Structure 1
Amino acid sequence: MKTLISTQSKFISYIIQCTLALLLSTSAQAQNIGINTLTADASSILDITHTTRGLLIPRIPLTSANDITTIVMPALSLLIFNTATAGIIPNNVKPGYYYFNGTKWVGIGTGVAWDLMGNLGTTAGTNFIGTIDAQDLVFKTNSLENMRILNSNGNVGIGTNSPLVNLDVLSSGNTNINVTSDGNFSILSATSYSTIGSPYFIGLLAQGTKLTPTYPTTGKILTYFAGRDAIDGRLGSAYGGGQIRIVTDENFTSVDKGTFMDFSTTQRGTNLPVERVTITSNGNVGIGTAFPANLLSNIPASSTYANVSSENTGQQAGKSLSWYNDISGFSAAFINTGILNGSNGVQIRTAGNSASQKILALGTGVSSIPNANTEIMTVLGNGNVGIGTTTPATKLHLLDGQITQ
C-alpha cells in the first residue's frame, strides 16, 4: 500500500515539474505560441527561439515530384526535407527542401542560380542556360521578345518567333544583318566547301522591306548563291536581272577546283539576264560564247563577221593581232581595216595548218577582202599564188596562162 502511494506521488510530482517547465519556457499569448521565449512575436503562430539549436523538419524519401503515395493526400504548403534522388526529368527530385503546391512537390533552392556577375566552378555540358522540358527558349528585353530558340529543331530566330532556318533574322527595316571585320571574313558550309552548287543566299542591303521589296539602287551589292556560285545577283522580288557571277568550273570534290566568271546584261523591259562575256578557268575570254576556245573569242549571232583571237601557240610568234574563224566557208574571215603595228601587218588565216589551207583570198567587190562569192586571187600556205584559180599548182599560177601589160 505504501509502495503504491509512493509511486503515485512521484508521478504527480513529475507532472507538476513538466507543467512548470512548460510554463516557464512557453508563453501563450493571444493565439500565438512561443517556445523558449516569453515574448512570442505577435505576427507568428509559433515562435521558436534558440541560439545553438535549430528546427528539424521531417525527412521523407520522395520517389518523384508528383509522388502522392509516400505521404498520402499531402496538404497544400506541406513542408518536408527530401532525402532521395529519384524520378525522371522533368519530375525528378534531389535531396533538399520541398513544399507541396497542391499538385506536385516543388523544390526550394534546389538549383544554383546564374549570377549577374558570373559563376565559378561551372562545367561545360553540365551547367547550362536553357530548359529541361519541351519548351522554346525565349530572350526578352524590356518585356519584349527579341530572340527565340525553337525546341523542335533548334532554329534561332532574331526578330521572329517562328524561324524557318538555322538562323532566321527579320527586321522591320531594310537592313537585317551587318557584318564588320578588321580581318578576313568567310561564310563556309559545314565542311568548309560545298560538294554541290548554290548552297547559300547572301543579300546585302536590298531596298524596301521583306513585305514590300523594291529594286536596288546604285551601289547595292547582292549575292544569291555561294559555294560554286560565289557572286551571283539573281532574279527576285527585291532586285533585278543584271548579274556578275564567279563560279567554279565543276562541283567541288576538293578545295582547289578552278573557277570562271561571266557577265550578263538584261534588256530593257525584261528581267531575264543574257550572258555576254565569259572568262574560263584557263583564262580564255569569250564574247558571245560561254565556251571560248582561245584567249579571246568573239562569236556573234551572225557568222558573217570573224572571231578575234590572240594566241602564242600554233600561230606565228610576235604578231600584233590576228583574226580567224573555225567556221568553214566564204565568210570565214571579214576585215574592214588593216592598220596594225608589228613585223606582220595583217594576217588572215584559216583554222588549218596544211599546205592546202588558204591563207589569203581576195575577191571582187568594194572591199579588198572578199565580200562576194567570186575569188580572184588565192595564196596557199605553201606560197603558191593563184589568179583566177583557187588551187594554184605553182608559185604563180594564171588560169588562162596570159600576162598582159
Structure 2
Amino acid sequence: MKFLAPLTLLFMLTFSVINGQVGINTTTPNASSILDISASDKGLLIPRIALIGLNDTTTILNPVESLLVYNTTSNSEITPGFYFWNGSQWTEFSSNASGGGSSDPHKWTLQGNELTANDFIGSTNWSALTFKVNNQKIASFHPNGGLLLGLGAASNVNNAIAIGTNASATTNESIALGYSTIASGYRSTAIGYNAQATTNNYSLALGANAVASGLNSAVFGNSSTASGQNATAVGYGANATNANTIILGNSISDITNWNATKVGIGTNTPSEKLEVKGNVKIDGILKITDGTQGNGKVLTSDANGNASWQEVSGEQKIFAEMNANSTSSLSQYNPINFGNTVITQGINTSSNGFQVVQSGVYRVTYAISVSKANGSDTNVKFYLAKGWGSSNAVQGSAGYGFVGNGDTTTITVTKYVQLNAYDQLYVFSDASNNAISILPDGTYFNIELVD
C-alpha cells in the first residue's frame, strides 16, 4: 500500500475541495462556482464529437439536456462549433462573428443561406421596415404602400414612391424617381434629375430639370415647363404657359443655335419648324402672318413652293357678270333671277347673286328691263341688298321707273359698295306684280373690285 502515499499527496497538491466546491489549480475556488479551474497558459478542452446532424442521438446515446460538445463535422444542417443538447436537438452557441452556414434557424450569414417557403426578412407587426447606412435611413417600406430608397429620400406612407438621393414624393400615390426629384401634387409623377411635378394634381414631369406645375399638365424633355392647366410641353426648353395648349420645342429660331426646333410628320428629316409629308386638311380659317400680309393681298408661290402675300397685279383683277336668260315676273320676296354667269374671276356666283371672297370697295351695276301687258300704269323700284330682303338693303342703291300698258323700260343703277369677305349681294324689287315681266334682253348684273 506504499504506492498510495504519492498519489494521495499529488491529489492534495492539485485539487482543493471546500464546502462541496472543487478547485483545480487553485485553493480558493469562487464561492459561486461548483468547479473553478485556474490557469494562465492552458484551456478547458471540451470533448470533440463528430455529430451527424441536429437530431443525432446515436453518436452520443441518450444525451442529457445541457450536454456540451464541440462538433467537428460539416453538412447542410451543422457546422463545426460548440453545441449543447436542448432536450430535443443540438443547438449551436450563437456568435456575432461572420462565418459559413449555420444550423441556427434564426441566423443570417454573409455567405448565403438556405431558405424555405416560409422564411422572410421583415417585421411581423404593422410598422414600417427601415434600413440604414452609416446610421442614416436609406430605405423604408410602409405597410400602407409607401416606399423610399435613397439617402434623404422622403415619401408619403400612402402608396407613394420616392427613389433617389433627396427624392421626395409627399402626397398620396405620387412618384418621384431620380436625384432631388419632387412630386408634391396628388397622384403626380416626376422622373429625372431635379424633375418637379408640383402644386397641382395629376401632373407629370419627365426629364432633367423638367417642371410640371399646372393641373393635369405634362412635360417631356430637358428643362421644359408646363404651368397652364391641361397644358403639355414636349422637347428641350419647351414652355406651355397657357391652358389647354400643346407646345412642341422651344422658341429658338436661329438655325445655328441648337439647329432650331423642327417637327416632322411623315418625314424624319424636317427642314422647317413643321414639315408634313402628305396632304393636310384644314376645316376652318388658315391664318398666315409672315410680315407680308395685308388687306387685299393674295397668297402666291415661288418656283420652290414658298408662299408669300403679294399685291394684286393688273392681271389679277376681280370681277364677275351675269345676265338673265329667261322672262320672269316681279316678286318682292325673292331676288331677281339672272340665271346665266357670263364671266367671273375671284368671285363666287349663284343664279341670283354674287359672293365676294376678298374685302374691299366694289363697283356694282345692275340693269333691269321690264314690260307691262295689262292693268293700270305703275312705278317700279329695284335695290341692292347684302343678304335676303329689304332689311339688308344697301343705302342709295335704289332705282325707279314708270311703266304703262304695252311699254318697255330699263332701270340702270351703278353704286360703289364696301363689302367684307364672303358678303353676298342681290337685286330685289319692292313689290310683286304678275303683270310686269322682266325681259332677259337688257337685264344684267356685274361687279368689280376697285380698291
TM-score interval w.r.t. the shorter chain? 0.3 to 0.5
Larger radius of gyration: 2
TM-score (norm 1): 0.44
More relative contact order, 1 or 2 (CA 8 Å, 6+ apart):
2
TM-score (norm 2): 0.40
